[in-house]
Structure 1
Amino acid sequence: MEATLNNTTKTDTTSAKTVTAKAAVITAPGTVAVKDIQIPAPAKGEVRIKLEGCGVCASNIPVYEGREWFNYPQTPGNPGHEGWGVIDAVGEGVEGLEEGDRVACLSYNAYAEYDIAKADEVVKLPAFLDGKPFPGEPLGCALNIFNRSNIQQGQTVAIVGAGFLGALLIQLAKSAGATVIAVSQREFSLETADKAGADHLVKMDDHYRIIEKVKEITNGHFCERVIEVTGKEWPLNLSIELTAERGKLIVAGFHQNGMRQLNVQLLNWRGIDMISAHERDPQQYISGICEAVKAVGEGRMNPFPLFTHQFTLEEAQQAFEHLTGRPDGFIKALIVNNKK
């Protein structure tokens, strides 16, 4: 039996039961279809994962909306990269992983029923996560950002943007003993921040009103740590204003639509450390996922209430529409297989 994915062909000797599976395909900007594809086969050092689901990430918005540098149709399952599921085939040379292991993975075509991952880019999930969705990549991102932030007990931390990632960071900052100020635009996001444990809620509306409010909360000192999670220019500059002298500004927002003009004068004047918390080393992602599993097990992070919407592969179009439209009540969508 042969399986084709990403224009590569491999012989699959691990399964002769099923030839095809379903995958979501972005066929044109703003259009998603579901197609049958040949099930991929793991090569040397790889495993195949029968996916339970995949998180829908805001970084998918450009390819869904369309930019001049993208080609359509996209590869089936792309750009899904937040998958989890059960290993059902193991390639040559793989040790320490077996068929039946439930894992989170780094893979890149996970809007599908099956995907391939390198053996060293999967994380086994412990029994306490059985039956629970676990999109490892964004949870690992939250831990990596938190670690880069170096938050200390007693510090005041502002989280600018209280969506999925912002809410997780509020939980983690509180677990470290920080006082947390959540700054966000949507009322529902502020309610989510409140449930996540934020000490102060500030509506992201008027630039100078926000600065005065945070100045009041901090007795004029501003925040030792500010984490920007919006990916927008104005909130990024606002975050500079909220950072204390010799504080750290952590850029966690996905800035994907052009250049930014920044208040470098204030960065210089206050001696602010500006840190990009985006990782590119796959092993750093894996380290973050491992830490995320531990954080959930210890109760320092609880992502499950933040998975507000679930869709099947056949409903992938709706999942992307929710991602871009962000209706009231929306925090994070999952595309799941065998949705109940």
Structure 2
Amino acid sequence: MTRTVLFHELGGPEVMRLEEVEVGEPGPGEVRIRVDAIGLNRAEVLFRTGHYIEPVRSFPAGLGTEGAGVIEAVGEGVTGLRTGEPVSVVPAFSQNDYALYAERAIVPAAAVLRRPDGVGAVEGAAVWMPYLTAYGALLEVGGMRPGDTVVLNAASSSVGLAAIHVADRIGARAIALTRTAAKREALLKEGAAEVIVTESEDVVERVLEATDGRGAEFVFDAVAGPGVRDLARVVADEGSLVVYGALSGEPTPYPGVEQGTLTMRTYIVHETTRRPERLRRAEAFVSSGLRSGAFRPVVDRTFALDEIVEAHRYLESGAQIGKIVATVPH
């Protein structure tokens, strides 16, 4: 038996509770891991509250798609992974099928990456989703090049910070949007070329000024909703507005633009993690950045697994800069 976080109804953090569950043996194409750390993501909040891109199929339901641990058992047909190996699990599956909020978990082998040397469990649970999302959206799909500019909101989130680092590494510029001035210095320290405080500065004016009137080749939007109309005004002619989150909780219109043409599309990390060749390239890119020091997981705070309700309350507060991680003592 292993302690696992389950919820029996939709609702706030309080619906989660730790229960004893039989894990069993991995099936074909699966591995069982001893979970040492879990990366918390907004997707879990949305799934728990019934606002995710897919509904909960049945109760009780589990949570979690990102973490780090050690392989305990390997299922039939799995190659290239061995017991005792330290690994990370990346978001590449439905929370209706697998879940990582547990002391032990069975996951698809295709969602498992070897942890690079020197990357511990907490870092291994915090690094992949942010960088796979930023890399996949901006480079793999978007084709960002040196000299391009990306404007990003929710800039102090783990994905926002990863996008800043990715842009900086390839010679592009990141303009970070933040609601108040409280996070300005932290964002500049992380490598943002400009920080715009949205409650007191005109975003369109500042972006056009920073780009010599050209606008940004990319807008990386975690909020969506009606605000896309304003963000579309800062996109350069033939640029891209990529929506990867829905923090506003409101319907997202297609913006009408007068200054030129733009491509607007959504992006989810599964576009990278569920396609082996894309994941192979992404793993190589992120691992290279980790080795050089250009990339690093930014961990705001850790909680123990039995503090998962408190951890989710903190996640929903939006006060963090970077990633929240739950650790699993053994």
Query: C-alpha displacement at 1:309, in angstroms?
Result: 1.2
Give the equivalent residue in structure 1 for 2:18: 34
Which of 265, 268, 275 is matched with 1:275 structurally? 265
Query: C-alpha displacement at 1:137, in angstroms?
Result: 3.3
Runs of 4+ in 1 over 6 A off after TM superposition: none
Which of 103, 107, 126 is matched with 1:113 structurally? 103
CA distance change for structure 1 residues 257 and 132 in 2, over 3 Å: closer, same or farther?
closer
| Residue 248, structure 1, aligned to residue 240, structure 2 | yes
Amino acid at match of 1:134: G
- When Rg is computed on C-alpha atoms for both structures, the one with the higher figure is 1
Distance 1:35 1:338 in 2: 16
| Residue 153, structure 1, aligned to residue 146, structure 2 | yes
Q: Identity, % of aligned pairs?
A: 23
| Residue 192, structure 1, aligned to residue 173, structure 2 | no
CA offsets 1:149-175 (integer angstroms, 9 cap, x no match): 322222232222202111110111011
Which of 277, 294, 298 is matched with 1:300 structurally? 294
Secondary structure, counterpart of 1:134 in structure 2: helix
Distance 1:171 1:265 in 2: 30
Query: C-alpha displacement at 1:145, in angstroms?
Result: 1.8
Task: Within 5 Å, give how 1:1-340 maps onto structure 2.
Answer: 20-28=1-9, 29-30=11-12, 31=14, 32-66=16-50, 70=56, 73-75=59-61, 78-106=62-90, 108-130=98-120, 132-135=122-125, 136-147=128-139, 148-162=141-155, 163-205=157-199, 209-228=202-221, 230-254=222-246, 257=249, 259-266=251-258, 269-281=259-271, 282-283=274-275, 286-287=279-280, 288-303=282-297, 306-327=298-319, 329-338=320-329
Structure-1-length-normalised TM-score:
0.82
Distance 2:213 2:51 in 1: 43
CA offsets 1:252-274 (integer angstroms, 9 cap, x no match): 224684531232334xx411122
Aligned residues: 311
CA distance change for structure 1 residues 189 and 82 in 2, over 3 Å: closer, same or farther?
farther
Secondary structure, counterpart of 2:161 in structure 1: helix
Query: C-alpha displacement at 1:92, in angstroms?
Result: 2.1
Distance 2:237 2:296 in 1: 32
Query: C-alpha displacement at 1:112, in angstroms?
Result: 0.5
Distance 1:195 1:114 in 2: 37
Query: C-alpha displacement at 1:82, in angstroms?
Result: 0.7
- CA RMSD between the two structures: 2.5
8 Å Cα contact 1:183-1:190 kept in structure 2 = no
Distance 1:214 1:65 in 2: 35
Amino acid at match of 1:337: V
CA distance change for structure 1 residues 186 and 293 in 2, over 3 Å: closer, same or farther?
farther
Structure-2-length-normalised TM-score:
0.85
8 Å Cα contact 1:122-1:286 kept in structure 2 = no
CA offsets 1:14-44 (integer angstroms, 9 cap, x no match): xxxxxx1111122331222111111231012
Distance 1:273 1:232 in 2: 15
8 Å Cα contact 2:150-2:174 kept in structure 1 = yes
